[in-house]
Structures are given as structure tokens and as C-alpha cells.
Structure 1
């Protein structure tokens, strides 16, 4: 087989080889672990790998020789209409594992299928019926036509928009039902979509700079950057180990309402909530928003006091896996009531509500000198945080300081004032008069002081 090893062809050959390898690894992981996101990522990796083939083989001399030239002409290596749907369905499978691919969704792949048929028609016409070039009379690869590239940019941009919207919806749902939402925000998805957005911007830029046929060496740099970014996407897609703990379904009612599901095992999903993203509150399944009896401020204040009593006296914030539903069970109520009270009565989402107590507990532990008996991470875990990264991010969000800066500040104040730790337990100020006054801690909270 002819292959001229030049600087340009050799570099892309390295990425092509790794693309094939990651496609196989992702497919194997998908089949062995029944991992749907990996299956979609495998498809995306294959499509991206094929996308660089014309430029790799073109610089290897294939456009100059037969039958290699016909292979590049009549095989649709660059199916831009395939990339967009693969991007979206991977995003959805990762963020929403309970939402399975339905038959009607094959329509998303309609343009990609039509382009395959278009390529087949060109081959049959040129090579079988006419036996002479008709579609390729000008000697230009139809995959490189500007109209096709523009249509591909529009298609990919549309599905990128859908993916970003889906990620935004997921984040809104996560902070409403999880106290450890920061861990489950899939920042990898954000970086993955950002990488794809960079590819889109570069594609538009190179199309504007080099619209005419030719300039293959200049255009090669776009495919080099494309290869680097898709290698990053494939590698991180393979190594990603985070799984979503709930599922949701967008309702076709003209709003941003979601039917929300939750399951720790991510195997079976039971409907638990209806989430309205605009109001940032949840509505119980089968119940209309107008059916709520918590419209009275006094009643909301009463439920608010019950919630704060349970959170403080039972220290449920120390449970790193507490959710909206599990706290609702402790209160013998449903998640709908709890969410409405937290959002309207306290004024923040459930994630920030619980993390506020965790931050306060850490500050109290530092004032008690607990950080001198164990690591900062150990203290944070005792307070309910589940990772160092989450703790650092949440603590700075609530205090404006990093944990180490806060500890240095407390130690400096203690040396200056020469005072010991305070004997009362301060709680976050959630505008409930009783809680503004500090009260003695429980025996478990005073141990070690």
C-alpha cells in the first residue's frame, strides 16, 4: 500500500492510530460494563478518526495515484452530519442514564444517512452507469466542498447548543436534590463541550481564511488541532468514572419542567419529583403547582423551623451522601414540600443549604484546634464533605478564603487575643430568630474541646 511518510502525513498517522485504539477500548468497555456513554463515545471517536483520513492520506500521496484517489473520492470519510448527533447523545447518556435511545430518534441521523446515499449515488453514476467522472469531473473531493463544510458547521453547532442546554438543565437539577452536587457536576462534560466549541470556531476561521480549493498545507493545521482535541476527548471519555445518580425527562409542555427520577444504583428509576427550573423548586409527581398548601408565609416558616431543627440536632449535614429525598424521609414529608421550603423560606438551593452547615462545622472544628490533631482533609470529611476539591471550592465560595488562609487567620487572631475556642455552636444565619442566638453544642460536638 502506498504511503509517503512526510511530516504532515506522519503526525496525523499517529493520531489516527490512537483514534483506532481508543475506539476499540471504548467499545470494549461499553460491551463489558454495559456502559452506554462509552458506546456513544466510541462512535464519536470513530467519526473523528475518519475525519482526519483525507488529510492524512492526501499528504501521503493518495490524491495523486489510482486507485487510491477513487477511494478518497467515493468513501465518505468526513460525514459532518454524523458528528453532531453523536456529541449530543453521548452528553445525554452520561448526564441522564435513565433516558434511553428511542426509535424515533433515528431521525437525528437522517442527514448523515442521506449523505451516505448521496455518496453511493455518485459512485454508481461515475463508476458503473457512465463509467467516467461526472460528479468528480473537476477532480475535487466532494467531502471538501464549502457548502458541505458550512452545512456541517451548522449541524454541529445546533447539537452543541442542545448539549450545553442539557448540561445546564442537569446542573439545575443536581443542586436541587444533592448535597454533594459539586462532585456530580461532570466538569469533564463542560471541558469536553468547550473543546468541541474551540474546534467549531477554528473550522469557521479556516473556512474564511482558505475558502478556495487548495491550500492543503495551510488547512492541515486545523486538522492537527482537531486531532489533538479529539485525542483529549477520547482519552478523558475513556477514563471518566463518574455516573449520574438521578435521571430526568424534559416535558413537552412549552416550559423547562422536568420529570425527575432518582436511584443510587442507577439501574432502576422511580419517579419522585417534577422540577421546574425557572422557579427552581420541585413539584410532586401527579400534583399540580396550584395544589400546594405552603403558600402561607407562617406555614413556610413553621416547616422551615422543623427543617433547621432536624439539620442541626441530628447533624445530617455530616452525611456526605444526604439528598433531598432522604432528608424528607426524616421529616416524614415529601421532597416537594422540603424543596419549596428550602428555596422560598431559606432562599437558596438544597446543595448550598447543606454545604452552609458543613462550612460552619469546619470553622468550628478549626476554632477548637481540630486541624492540629488531624489533616485538613480529615476535618472536612468529618464535617460532611466527600473530597478535597469539593471542600476547597465550596469553602471559598462561602467564605471568600481558602481553608488554609482561614486557618492562618484564626491562628493569628488567637495569638493576638490569647483566647481559646468559643463554647457555643454558631449556625448559618437563615433568618429564623431562634437560630440567631448561639446555643450550646451537643456532647458529640463538644468532644475534644
Structure 2
């Protein structure tokens, strides 16, 4: 029987041709090395998941029947390796008991490998007897595994982002948003995958009917590989380092008064204009330690480090606008210490309740604008509670 590469096989083959070089590029990237290697492994596992459909629609199984049970598709490895990637990026290490997390995938691989080695006649009989039982069991295990690992990864990411906000002024520069997007994408894939598997169990969809699921898996793999490679060298401070830097001390002080004093000192000195400012560097300039500064901000002023710094930066932009500066809004933002337009827009809206362009338009109409509480709070009174 001749091999036929129709649109289904061609689409999946094209995806694999893009994914393999990206996986190799991640393997040789030195920064975030452990995380990038786990991402490369995840990409290869996803390629394996849709490979049976790639070769099946091309006629491989019809031409070479001994390929039945070819042990390349191991979906149960996907959730665990995804969690490895998130954990490696945020902590610099694999999760505790990571070997046990691989066990379901290894069991699935062993089932396929042993079945693949059977003689052809025995393999046909085994497929008829075993697949109706093993298929639903592996499908249920996959759905449960996805739920467990995605939930644990989201919990870890939330902890990481809170620690970033307590120690770093611009979370966007540390690609935490990329991780959140990746996890939301996999949560969507998990829901679709689970529904399709349940549907196929109750009302079999057939080989062609399941094709759309594997096209979605290939699309998610491409998104993950391309975006993961784009963020492969982004800085990712470890969770332990962030929590140590933002850990408040237990010394008894009037943190509200101390926070206002330091806020005034920081505003006057203009230190927040440094886009690389973090809590350790600011504490050093204030002549204190990061623990004291963290407590003054969290308990004394009711804000985290990111909100404190970005509100002061917004204050500088507002003052420049009200002074009649003709500079572009983005130029004002960069001069105030913001590293990107996106982070500036988010912070400005949170601080003033308006977009930068709307605020400038309001100023240009010569209306009498009272500074918002967000732009006055570091000189008049403590800031409102926000992400402490």
C-alpha cells in the first residue's frame, strides 16, 4: 500500500518540523538551563502525542501493521513535565518527589512498549482485549493528572507573583505573565481534551473525528515552543531569593511613621527612576535592610513594593503633565523609570483611575485637576491597601 500525505499528515508534519529545531534551541540555551531543558522535553512529548495521527493518516499502520502500539505517544507525561517547567523557572529546581510524578507516564509507556514487542498475531488479539479497558483508564488518569498538576502550578505561580510584587518594581520584566498565559492555555487544552475523551468513550468519534483534538495539541505545542523560546533568557529570580528579600523582620517599630519618612525620602531623591530598582537596592540606599523596608511598606503603608514604586513613578509623570511638559507620554514614563509601555499603562490606571492619554487630555483642557489620592498618598498619608 502506498503512503499518502494528505492535509492532515502534512499539517502535523509541518508542526513537527518547526517544533524539533525549537526544542533543540531550548536544550542548548544556557540561561534558565534546567527550565529550558524541561520545556524542550515537554515539546518532544507533545510531538510524540500527535505522531500516531501524523503517520496514521499517511498510511503507515496499514502498510506496516507491526507499528501497532508504537510507544511514542505518552500523554500522561505532559501534565508532570509542564509542572516541572513552571517549578524550574520559579524555584530553579524540580519539584519535590518529581520522580513519583513521572510514574503514571512511565506506566503508560511500559504498557505500550511491552505490547509493541509482542508477535503480530498476539498483538492483534491483545489490542482487541486490552484497549477497551486500558484506553478509558489512561484517559481518566490523564484528566485527573492535568487537574492536579495545573492547579499546583497555578498555586505556585500565584505565590511567585506575590513575591515578585514584594521585591521587584516591574513584574512584566520577569515574564511571570508568560507563565500565567501558558498555564491558562494548558487549562483550556485540559478541558477540551477531557471533554473529547469522555465523548469518545460514550460515542466513539473514530480516527478522523479525533483529528481536531490532535491539531489543537499541535497548535498548543507550537505556541508553547515559540513563546517559551522568546522568554528563554528572561530573568527569573528564584522564589527563595524573592521571599528572603521581601521577608519582614519582627522588630517593634512605628512602621506607619517610618514608611512615610522613607516614602518622602525616596520621592525627593528620585531613586524610583531607576528601572532596575528592587527592594534590596532601595533598602541599601535608605541605609536599612530589605526586611525593615518590606515591613514599612506592607504594614506601615499598606502596599507591596511594586505598587509603592510604580505609584511614585506615576506621580512624576502626573507632575510633568501638569507642569505643561510637551514630551510624549511614553518618554515621560521611561524617564520616570518604567521599563515598558504596558507596565506603565497598568500602573497609571491603577494609580489615577484614568489612562495616561485621558489624563493628559484633561490637563490640556486647562481644567483644574485635583491630584488623585494615588498621586498624593506618599506625602499626605499612607497608601490604601493593595496587594500587601
TM-score class normalised by the smaller sequence: 0.7 to 0.9
The answer to whether the 8 Å contact 2:294/2:305 transfers is yes
Listed as ranges, the matches of 1:134-153 within 5 Å are 136-138=126-128, 145-153=135-143
**Offset of residue 353 of structure 1:** 1.0
- Say how many residue pairs are matched: 379
Listed as ranges, the matches of 1:308-323 within 5 Å are 308-323=263-278
For the residue of structure 2 that corresponds to 1:90, the secondary structure is: helix
Q: Identify unmatched segments of 5+ residues in structure 1.
A: 249-259, 263-270, 276-281, 285-290, 436-449
Partner of 1:261: 241
**Whose RCO is larger (CA < 8 A, sep 6+)?**
2
Distance 1:17 1:173 in 2: 39
For the residue of structure 2 that corresponds to 1:210, the secondary structure is: helix
Q: Does 1:343 align with 2:298?
A: yes
Partner of 1:188: 178
Distance 2:71 2:280 in 1: 50
Distance 2:133 2:46 in 1: 14
Partner of 2:28: 28
**Offset of residue 197 of structure 1:** 1.3
Q: 1:6 to 1:154 in 2, by over 3 A?
A: same
Distance 1:24 1:185 in 2: 21
The answer to whether the 8 Å contact 1:80/1:156 transfers is no
TM-score, normalised to structure 2, is 0.87
Listed as ranges, the matches of 1:39-78 within 5 Å are 39-65=37-63, 68-73=64-69, 75-78=70-73
Partner of 2:83: 88
Write out per-residue CA displacement over residues 186-214 of structure 1, whole angstroms, 9 at most, x where no aligned residue: 21112111211111111122123222555
Q: Does 1:172 align with 2:168?
A: no
Distance 2:7 2:130 in 1: 23
The answer to whether the 8 Å contact 1:54/1:72 transfers is no
Q: 1:234 to 1:121 in 2, by over 3 A?
A: same
Partner of 1:108: 101
Listed as ranges, the matches of 1:31-430 within 5 Å are 35-65=33-63, 68-73=64-69, 75-96=70-91, 99-101=92-94, 104-124=97-117, 126-127=118-119, 132-133=122-123, 136-138=126-128, 145-211=135-201, 213=204, 215-241=206-232, 243-248=234-239, 260-261=240-241, 272-273=244-245, 282-284=247-249, 291-294=250-253, 299-370=254-325, 372=326, 374-413=327-366, 428-430=376-378
Distance 1:143 1:62 in 2: 25
Distance 2:296 2:3 in 1: 68
Distance 2:138 2:127 in 1: 18
For the residue of structure 1 that corresponds to 2:238, the secondary structure is: strand
Partner of 2:386: none
Structure with more of its chain in strand, by fraction: 1
Query: More displaced, 178-187 or 399-408?
Result: 178-187
Structure with more of its chain in helix, by fraction: 2
Distance 1:79 1:107 in 2: 16
Aligned-residue Cα RMSD (Å) equals: 3.0
Distance 2:148 2:256 in 1: 45
Distance 1:325 1:235 in 2: 33
Query: More displaced, 231-240 or 19-28?
Result: 19-28
Q: 1:304 to 1:133 in 2, by over 3 A?
A: closer
**Offset of residue 245 of structure 1:** 4.7
Partner of 1:287: none
Larger Rg computed on CA atoms = 1
**Offset of residue 34 of structure 1:** 6.6
Q: Identify unmatched segments of 5+ residues in structure 2.
A: 384-388
TM-score, normalised to structure 1, is 0.76
The answer to whether the 8 Å contact 2:259/2:296 transfers is yes
